């Protein structure tokens, strides 16, 4: 187990390192030194001067690269061109917001997906199953941002159940520090999380339906049922335990999906997270922020996969033989 874990960890680090290297060279080769006069986006003189000192822009590319890696290890990602502040600061502000959103979406995704999956499995081939199955397939096929726009229009503008943008009421809750503000925060979180969660839940439900069906048909469930246990208990205890494994796979799959979806959903709902930061940085040709955001995103994806793999290994010892 320990050896496997070390190998797996080393592979993850190698991937992140490769992503950093590729983004560095792509951005620098396509873009050259940000201090040159002929650039699409020349740096302000002062920022340029500091970047020059930090990463040695007048030196050969490989020296810059080494300096960049050195700075990276110290947590220094350079200076943003448009935000007038260090990239690391801007990212540190945004990451927790994306994380909360992704987590909330994940909860909705899994909870709703599991509930629907179980329901459909129990009602197999009856009306409820087929209707829900088709609805889920349809929702799963929507462009995420479009679903967000529709929810925003219906629940934000027409019905006014939920706020249309932002993370909290600035008058009562400048900080999330009381039960009331926690509630306010969740209220603001609802629509974006629902947008991301619903699309995912539709996929998750199909997964769980299949898994549950397999389980329900297995002998020990029949046995349990025959022993006279109430149906709900049979399903919840026996079946659920076996259906839990795919959960972990789903987590590994859902995480990158949520991050990708977050790029657009954050833009729709003005959620000040990584996605919105990255999109506006890309539009502004703010390369240091783009590179920083690429790094952070890939770290999160790799980490998500790693966690899924480790959980898998713990849950099912047979997996360990898988190559790292």
Partner 1 sequence: MNVWNWLAVGGATVVALAVVAETRRRALSSTPGRRFFRHPTAAPGMFVLAFFVTIAVAAPAVAPFPPYYQIDIARPNQPPSARHPLGTDPLSRDVWSRLAYGARLSLGIGTLAMVVAVTVGAAVGAVAGYFRRWVDVALMRLVDVALAMPRIFLLLMAVALWEHLPLWVLVLLIGLTGWFGTSRLVRAEVLSLREREFVAAARALGAGPGRVIFRHVLPNAAAPIIVSAALGIGNVMLLEAGLSFLGLGVPSPAPSWGNMIADSMPKMAVAWWSATFPGLAISLVVMALNAVGDALRDALDPRREAA
Partner 2 sequence: MPTSRTTARLIALAALAGLVLPAGCGRRPGCTGDYCGTLVIAAPGEPDILLPPVSEFATTRDVTEQLFLKLADLGTSGNTIGDEDFRPQLAERWEWDAPTTLVFHLDPRARWQDGQAVTAGDVAFTYDAYTDTAVNSSFRTALRSIAAVTTRDSLTVVFRFRQRYPEMFYDAVYHMRILPGHLLRELPRDQWRSAAFGRAPIGDGPYRFVAWKAGERIELAADSTFFLGRPHIRRVIWRFTPDQTVAVTQLIAGDADAVEVLITPDNVKRVRGDTQLAIYPYKGAQYGYLGFNLAAPGDTTRPHPLFGDRDLRRALVMAADRERLLRNVWEDLATVPPGPMSRLWWIWDPEIRELPYDSAQAARLLTRLGWTDSDGDGIRDKDGHALAFRLLVPTSSIIRRQYGRLLQEQFRGVGVDVQLDEVDFSLFNERDRGGRFDAVLNVWTTDPTPSSGLPQTWTRAGFGRSNYGRYDNPVVDRLVDQAVAAAANREQARRAWRAAIETLNQDAPGIFLFATENFASVHKRVADVTIRPDSWLALLRTWRIPADRLTDRDRVER
Interface ranges with partner 1 (CB under 8 A): 11, 14-16, 18-19, 22-23, 26-27, 30-31, 40, 130, 134, 137-138, 140-146, 149-150, 153, 157, 210, 213-214, 256, 259-260, 263-264, 267, 278-279, 282-283, 285, 290, 293-294, 297-298, 301-302
Q: Exactly one of 33, 140, 249, 280 binds partner 2 (CB under 8 A); which one?
A: 280
Between the alpha carbon of residue 320 and those of residues 65, 250, 311, 317, the distances in Å are 36, 18, 11, 6
Question: DSSP character for 56?
Answer: -
What is the Cα–Cα distance from 48 to 45, expressed in whole angstroms? 5
Q: Exactly one of 77, 83, 199, 234 binds partner 2 (CB under 8 A); which one?
A: 83
Identify each DSSP E strand in the chain by its residue range. none
Tell whether residue 84 is a contact of partner 2 (CB under 8 A): yes
Closest separation in Å from C-beta 322 to partner 2: 34
Q: Exactly one of 52, 67, 225, 285 binds partner 2 (CB under 8 A); which one?
A: 285
Tell whether residue 235 is a contact of partner 2 (CB under 8 A): yes
19 binds, among partner 1, partner 2, none (CB under 5 to 8 A by kind): partner 1
What is the Rg, in whole angstroms, of the alpha carbon atoms belonging to the chain? 24
322 binds, among partner 1, partner 2, none (CB under 5 to 8 A by kind): none
Between the alpha carbon of residue 68 and those of residues 52, 57, 58, 258, 298, the distances in Å are 11, 10, 13, 29, 17
Tell whether residue 267 is a contact of partner 2 (CB under 8 A): yes
Q: Which helix (H) or strand (E) holds 283?
A: helix 274-283
Which residues sit opposite 79 in a β-bridge?
86
CB 218 within 8 A of CB 231: no
Tell whether residue 242 is a contact of partner 2 (CB under 8 A): no
Q: Stretches 185-193, 198-206, 207-215, 295-303: which one binds partner 2 (CB under 8 A)?
A: 185-193
Tell whether residue 7 is a contact of partner 2 (CB under 8 A): no
Tell whether residue 8 is a contact of partner 2 (CB under 8 A): no
Which residues sit opposite 86 in a β-bridge?
79
Q: Stretches 66-74, 167-175, 257-265, 302-310: which one binds partner 2 (CB under 8 A)?
A: 167-175
Between the alpha carbon of residue 166 and those of residues 220, 223, 228, 244, the distances in Å are 50, 53, 52, 35
Question: At 86, is the secondary structure helix, strand, or coil?
Answer: strand
Residue among 121, 193, 93, 105 nearest 151 (CA): 193
CB 270 within 8 A of CB 65: no
Q: Exactly one of 4, 65, 99, 187 binds partner 2 (CB under 8 A); which one?
A: 187
Tell whether residue 130 is a contact of partner 2 (CB under 8 A): no
What is the binding site for partner 2 (CB under 8 A)?
A: 40-41, 44-47, 49, 79, 82-85, 90, 93-94, 111-112, 115-116, 118-119, 122-123, 156-157, 160-161, 163-172, 174, 178-180, 183-184, 186-187, 190, 232, 235-236, 267, 270, 272, 276-277, 280, 283-285
């Amino acid at each position: 187990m320990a050896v496997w874990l070390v190998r797996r960890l080393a592979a993850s680090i190698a991937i992140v390192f490769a992503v950093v290297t590729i983004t560095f060279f792509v951005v620098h080769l396509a873009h050259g030194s940000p201090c040159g006069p002929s650039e699409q986006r020349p740096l302000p003189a002062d920022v340029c001067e500091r970047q020059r000192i930090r990463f040695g822009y007048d030196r050969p590319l490989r020296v810059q690269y080494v300096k960049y890696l050195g700075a990276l290890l110290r947590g220094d990602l350079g200076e943003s061109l448009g935000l007038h502040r260090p990239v690391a600061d801007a990212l540190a502000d945004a990451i927790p917001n994306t994380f909360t959103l992704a987590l909330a979406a994940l909860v909705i995704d899994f909870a709703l997906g599991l509930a629907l999956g179980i329901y459909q499995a129990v009602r197999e081939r009856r009306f409820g199953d087929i209707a829900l199955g088709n609805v889920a397939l349809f929702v799963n096929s929507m462009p995420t941002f479009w679903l967000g726009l529709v929810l925003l229009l219906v629940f934000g503008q027409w019905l006014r159940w939920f706020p249309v943008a932002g993370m909290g009421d600035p008058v009562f809750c400048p900080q999330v520090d009381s039960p009331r503000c926690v509630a306010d925060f969740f209220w603001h979180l609802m629509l974006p999380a629902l947008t991301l969660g619903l699309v995912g839940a539709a996929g998750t439900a199909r997964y769980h339906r299949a898994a549950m069906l397999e389980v329900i048909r297995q002998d020990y469930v029949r046995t349990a049922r025959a022993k006279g246990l109430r149906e709900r208990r049979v399903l919840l205890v026996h079946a659920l335990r076996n259906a839990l494994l795919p959960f972990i796979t789903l987590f590994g799959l859902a995480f990158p999906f949520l991050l990708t979806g977050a790029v657009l959903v954050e833009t729709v709902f003005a959620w000040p997270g990584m996605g919105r930061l990255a999109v506006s940085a890309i539009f502004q040709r703010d390369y240091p922020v783009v590179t920083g955001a690429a790094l952070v995103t890939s770290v999160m994806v790799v980490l998500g996969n790693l966690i899924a793999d480790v959980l898998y290994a713990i849950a099912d010892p047979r997996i360990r033989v898988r190559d790292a």
